[in-house]
Amino acid sequence: MEGDVSEQKAHLDLADIKVAHQMYILQKSNFKPNQVPEVLGIIILSFGLLLEALLIFNHKPSSCAAVEVPSFFECGSDGIILIACIILSTPLFLITAIAKSNYKKWKMKTLQDLAKISNFHNSSITSKHGREMSILSHVESLLGEEE
């Protein structure tokens, strides 16, 4: 009778491990941070730098003092366009940084939970990628033994 209880416990643990592993694999791809805000921020900053460079190279103070209406590129902007682009792109970079940080926290917590469930006790691995691969291969070997 005791053998049946230990077999049920081992089977239940493997089922928990399998569910946790499948959830980790599924959510790992779903929770990846979106790179669109970062790319948009880079484009905005590049646009601002390009526009400021054009304004600096085409600056003609003599035509700005004239009575005629000068061209926008001839008078310059005193860096206002670049400052505006920096202000517009900063929130986009912050959004990306926060999303990446949250993803790393989730990944580490989930990996720790998976290691705890599967009784993985190898703390000698220093790199995060190596630890992730070791835990996943350990879990996959446990699940392979089940079949």
Give the tens place of pLDDT for each residue, 49-95: 998 888 877 766 666 665 565 566 666 667 788 889 999 999 999 99
Look at residue 1 and tell me if it is in a domain: no
Q: What is the pTM of this model?
A: 0.67
Exposed, middle or buried: residue 89 (CB in 10 Å: 0-12, 13-18, 19+)?
buried
Domain region containing 110: 32-146
* Structure confidence by residue, pLDDT tens digits, 5-49: 444 445 547 777 777 877 888 877 777 778 899 999 999 999 999
Look at residue 93 and tell me if it is in a domain: yes
60 SS3 class = coil
Look at residue 97 and tell me if it is in a domain: yes
d(CA 141, CA 89): 46
Our count of domains for the chain comes to 1
d(CA 98, CA 100): 5
